[in-house]
Amino acid sequence: MWTGSGFASDSRVGSAWCLSAAAPAGTEINQLEADLQELGSLLAKAERKRVQELLKEEQKKVEKEITAKRQQKEQQARRVADPTAATKAAYTVKITNYGWDQSDKFVKIYLTLKGVHTIPAENVGVEFKERSFSVLVKDLDGKNHQMTILNLLSPIDAGESCKKIKTDMLLIMCRKQTSKKWECLTQIEKQSKDKDKPAPNETADPSDGLMSMLKKIYSDGDDEMKRTINKAWSESQEKKLKGEDMMDL
């Protein structure tokens, strides 16, 4: 299924984790400008330095949000004037860089896309399936941006998965069917990891592993650790020699 925007949707999309509503851009700008004006009034009355600094920081945030909303409104106006603008992107580029982490309920994929929060929400589409998802961002900086991840490590709940549009970032939230921890994102990554693991040597002497561990401890240890290991080794050899002498008798 294709989701609506994680932040701007008139209908339910997945679970309550992914619900939000959006007002028209013009109304939002008016509200933000009113907020900015009131912050200015409060700043003029504030006497304590800490309060003044907090108000100034909030002013900067609101100004940044107003700029983003105006850019979005301008782009929407251009699309009304030219309805085919969204299909005129010169070419499609593949998204290859991403980060991911997880919680008990979600696997989260982070895509850095500068300006993605300024384009219409309908230009950002994500299709979820049980073992995959596809992303298509239309007409961002004159290009379409596309990514498909196949063969996810474990099944996801497509109906409960969603996306969230943040400043310069797209967050993909894949709802796990079970809460178990994922060691990788895809089955191919897991197969590659398993292939790189050294095969166990069933004929090897078990004491070889102990010797290897002792050598590593000795190599990494400080002088005191090395003296302790040398002493233990010497005592062990002496006991071994005494045992052999008794057998000869």
For the stretch 170-214, pLDDT in tens is 999 999 999 999 999 999 888 888 776 666 555 556 666 667 777
pLDDT of 17 higher than 80: no
Contact partners, residue 91, CB within 8 Å, separation at least 6: 143, 144
Q: What is the mean pLDDT of the chain?
A: 80
C-beta separation of 127 from 134 below 8 A: yes
Which of 37, 112, 39, 33 lies closest to 73, judged by CA? 33
Using the predicted structure, report yes or no on whether residue 7 has a pLDDT greater than 60: no
Inter-residue contact 109 to 149 (CB < 8 Å): yes
CATH of domain 92-196: 2.60.40.790
Structure token pair of residue 211? 């010797």
pLDDT category of residue 10 using cuts at 50, 70 and 90: very low
SS3 label, residue 99: strand
Kindly tell me if the per-residue pLDDT of 247 is higher than 80. no
Nearest of 121, 221, 204 to residue 162 by alpha carbon? 121
The pLDDT tens digits for 142-163 are: 899 999 999 999 999 999 999 9
pLDDT band at 46, cuts 50/70/90? confident
Q: Is the per-residue pLDDT at 231 higher than 90? A: no
Q: What are the extents of the domains in the chain?
A: 16-87, 92-196
Q: Give the pLDDT band (50/70/90) at residue 138.
A: very high
Residue 209: the pLDDT is: 63
